[in-house]
Amino acid sequence: MTQSIRTHLAIIVALGAVLLGISFLLLHLATPSDGARLAPGQSVWRHDGVVITPLQPGGLHKGDIVVAVEGKSLEAWAQDLFRVGVQRPHWQSGQTIIYHVLRSGHVQDVPVTLGPYPLATLAAQEWSTILYALVFFLVAVFVVLLRPGEPAARVQFLAASSMLGATTWSLGLQVGDLINGIGFWLFKATTIGCFLLFWTALLHFALIFPRPHALIVKRRFVIPLLYVVPYAIALISLLVAWPLSSSMLSWIGLWILAEDIFPPIATILALMSIIWSYKTEQSYDERQKIRWLMYAALLSGGGGLLLWQLPNLLGYPVLSSNALGLLVLPYPFALAIAILRHRLFDITIIIHRTLVYGTLTGSVVGLYVLVVSLAGMLFHPSSTFLPSLLATGLVAVLFQPLHVRLQRFVNRLIYGERDDPYAVLANLGAHLEATPIPEAVLPTVVQTVAQALKLPYVAISLKHGETFAIAAACGLAQRELLTLPLLHSGELVGQLQLAPRDASETFTAADRKLLTVIASQVSVAAHAVRLTADLQRSREHLVATREEERRRLRRDLHDGLGPTLASMTLKLDAARNLLAQNSPALDPLLLDLKAQTQATIVDIRRLVYDLRPPALDELGLVSALHEQIAHYSQVGGAQMVMEAPSSLPSLPAAVEVATYRIVLEAVTNVVRHANARRCWVRLQVADVLTVEVVDDGVGLPLHYHAGVGFASMRERADELGGTCQIESRATSGTHVLVQFPLVKDEPPEQPAARYDTSLQSGE
């Protein structure tokens, strides 16, 4: 079935429901009335007659039971409803007919003068229900004209039309409808047919709004079946009730089962569908639509329960039926906003105020009724002033505390723990303590903050170089985010990103204050997580470096020294043979063996040097650097000055190697690229080992990219927890500053010795 066919079918059925209601009204306007009706919602059907309620003064009294009309029992008139071709009377306005009524236990003949249908009286009594149906219908027409292709708009129009048709229930049935037949069947067609259609359409709406439920998408027969099942249930209930009835009138009275069985089922299923859609929906806009739908259900259902059903059950009615109609009047508007303009209004604020003041009103009314009831038991029944005075005083005393507590409760329900920063921080701390795995710390933080403050999206991004990468997120980011820096000891370690609760909402000053405090706590966790990640990467790097070094050593030993030594063994065997023969080829062979041995020694020295420069063990760090710097001074032609303590404290082997190689790399760069005349190398030892290499050369280019040399210098410093800064001097040249942390129980620093290794040819 195409969308066009579905649209036309829905409109035809909807207009048919409206036409049934209009037909019932026009029929009654065209036929005379006895001025009484069978009150809707009350038990009026008996085995021998019906209970009537007069609408205007006359011969009939409230509570009269009509058992016969013009000498024919009402049971016989009821049986004629199911017969074809029965002659029915055609009475005129002003004509007097005789009703046989049971009044005070006696049957009396009551003359009834027929007159115009009392539409004005009925409209005055049931105006809110009629107004609700008309407003619902007009709003639905407006929505379907704006969104003719929207399935939810079509279904809302169908529900509103069937509701308008079912409004005949408020007008009520008359005795004349049982006699002429057509009025009875129009009434039942609207109160059963249209009424069931209304509840079915509401369930259909819940299943497709804001998007079709998976059950409907997978099984397309569900919707057609949905419109068949209620009528099948109604028919089965009528067939089951037939054997239980003692008369036709009592059986017709049981037809109310057909009206009352399906609505509770539809209500429960619709609420379950709405809640399920809200729980599973990820889109913020779609969730906003559902919240409007939930608000409409809360307003009509919750308001009716607190202000209508419960007070009436306790015997202290608060609202009239007309006021109840006004209470549910916002329902169609909420549906229209959900379909058309859900972004136009802030549903969160509306729900917040409705919950606070609705619950406050219900609590005040309930407290007043309870106090009046209890006080009425203690005092004289005729004395109502004192119970009312006590109830009013108690309500006045408790109003403000109750309002404050309700406000706090609703704030917590909608905004989370925004008004209780200590609770948020305590909750965050408790969750962090219960998280033993470092990888789960940041996900726990974002989830805790999102749940505590009812935020749709919370994320933490960690800084990597000059960029930020999301490390943990909760929810979906679908609007502008508030970004707070995560600072630890003045260092930017990451960002905390949060989305407001609604698209039209911004974070208040109180929100920002709390979020700033949370960010300061989160920054500690983010810093710890980043340190843990850095430590893990360092461990992995060390393991990888170690294994690469081992593989290189194995390759050098296996592919280089191994074959060489094997070759030398073979040559020694050959030399022995030649020695026995006193051959002249012996001397060249021995010379070749000597050269090969010397080359092997060079390879071994290279391997040893790569592991650790031998000069460090032979001369010490200062003397080894002095020797190398003197060599560079002779080769490069620049005057090089080294300033260092005469002796250094015992340094870790790794620090010595790193210092040695960094200084040589820096001096090599000076000789090759700086075009400098002088170069200074300084070593100082305090809490840290400070190494400086300064030259007066051309300095660094304005936009330079660090090469392999600079990168290796920084890596060596970082591996040992040190720092390496390379920058151009203010005047000229380059300044390299390296610092390594040392243990504090070191011997005092010795006076500095000055080494001048310049060649006089340079200056």
Q: Per residue in 131-177, pLDDT tens?
A: 888 888 988 888 888 787 788 888 989 999 999 999 888 888 999 99
DSSP type of residue 193: I
pLDDT at 29 over 60: yes
Q: What is the pLDDT of residue 310?
A: 59
**In the chain, which segments carry CATH 3.30.565.10?**
620-756
> Of the CATH numbers 3.30.565.10, 3.50.50.60, 3.60.10.10, 3.40.710.10, which one belongs to the domain with range 620-756?
3.30.565.10
Highest mean pLDDT among 181-190, 556-565, 703-712: 181-190
Q: Show the tokens assigned to 271.
A: 């609420």
Pairwise CA distance, residues 16 & 254, whole Å: 26
Q: What is the pLDDT of residue 289?
A: 75
Q: What percent of the chain has pLDDT over 90?
A: 20
Q: What is the pLDDT of residue 340?
A: 67
pLDDT at 753 over 50: no
Question: If you average pLDDT over every residue of the chain, what do you get?
Answer: 78
Which residues does 672 contact at the CB level (< 8 Å), separation at least 6? none
Tell me the sheet residues that pair with 482. Answer: 498
Pairwise CA distance, residues 76 & 86, whole Å: 12
Q: What is the pLDDT of residue 693?
A: 93
Q: What is the pLDDT of residue 312?
A: 58
Which residues does 413 contact at the CB level (< 8 Å), separation at least 6? 355
Which pLDDT tens digit goes with each residue over 622-640?
999 999 888 888 877 788 8
pLDDT at 345 over 60: no
pLDDT class of 711 with cuts at 50, 70, 90: confident
pLDDT at 437 over 90: no
pLDDT class of 706 with cuts at 50, 70, 90: low
Please indicate whether residue 182 or residue 317 has the higher confidence score (pLDDT): 182
pLDDT class of 188 with cuts at 50, 70, 90: very high
Q: What is the pLDDT of residue 177?
A: 93
Q: Show the tokens assigned to 266.
A: 């539809």
Residue 140's CB: how many other CB atoms inside 10 A?
Answer: 26
Q: What is the pLDDT of residue 19?
A: 93
**What is the mean predicted confidence (pLDDT) over 445-453?**
77
Q: What is the pLDDT of residue 473?
A: 86
- Residue 117 burial by CB count (10 A; 0-12/13-18/19+): exposed, middle or buried? buried
Tell me the sheet residues that pair with 54. Answer: 36
Q: What is the pLDDT of residue 525?
A: 80
**What is the mean predicted confidence (pLDDT) over 712-716?**
88
Which pLDDT tens digit goes with each residue over 89-102?
989 999 999 999 99
pLDDT class of 757 with cuts at 50, 70, 90: very low
Helix (H) or strand (E) holding 694: strand 688-695
Q: What is the pLDDT of residue 739?
A: 93
Please indicate whether residue 374 or residue 175 has the higher confidence score (pLDDT): 175
pLDDT at 431 over 60: no
Which pLDDT tens digit goes with each residue over 717-747?
888 888 999 888 877 889 999 999 886 544 4
CA-CA-CA-CA torsion for 386, 388, 389, 395, nearest 10 degrees?
Answer: 150
Q: What is the pLDDT of residue 429?
A: 63
Q: What is the pLDDT of residue 189?
A: 93
**Inter-residue contact 80 to 86 (CB < 8 Å):** yes
Phi-psi region of 693 (alpha: psi -120 to 50; beta: other; left: phi over 0): beta
**Inter-residue contact 349 to 151 (CB < 8 Å):** no
Please indicate whether residue 657 or residue 564 has the higher confidence score (pLDDT): 657
Pairwise CA distance, residues 206 & 395, whole Å: 39
What strand order describes the sheet that includes 723-728? 723-728, 734-741, 688-695, 678-685, 639-645, 752-756
pLDDT class of 388 with cuts at 50, 70, 90: low
**What is the mean predicted confidence (pLDDT) over 556-563?**
67
Please indicate whether residue 727 or residue 308 has the higher confidence score (pLDDT): 727
pLDDT class of 403 with cuts at 50, 70, 90: low
Please indicate whether residue 348 or residue 9 has the higher confidence score (pLDDT): 9
3-class secondary-structure state, position 2: coil
pLDDT at 342 over 50: no
Give the ranges where 222-346 is alpha helix by DSSP (H): 222-241, 248-253, 256-260, 262-280, 284-297, 303-304, 310-314, 321-327, 330-339
pLDDT class of 347 with cuts at 50, 70, 90: very low
Q: What is the pLDDT of residue 97?
A: 94
**What is the mean predicted confidence (pLDDT) over 114-134?**
88
Which pLDDT tens digit goes with each residue over 30-75?
999 999 999 876 678 998 899 999 998 888 999 999 999 999 999 9
Q: What is the pLDDT of residue 763?
A: 32
Please indicate whether residue 376 or residue 728 has the higher confidence score (pLDDT): 728
- Taking only Cα atoms into account, the Rg of the chain, rounded to an integer number of angstroms, comes to 48
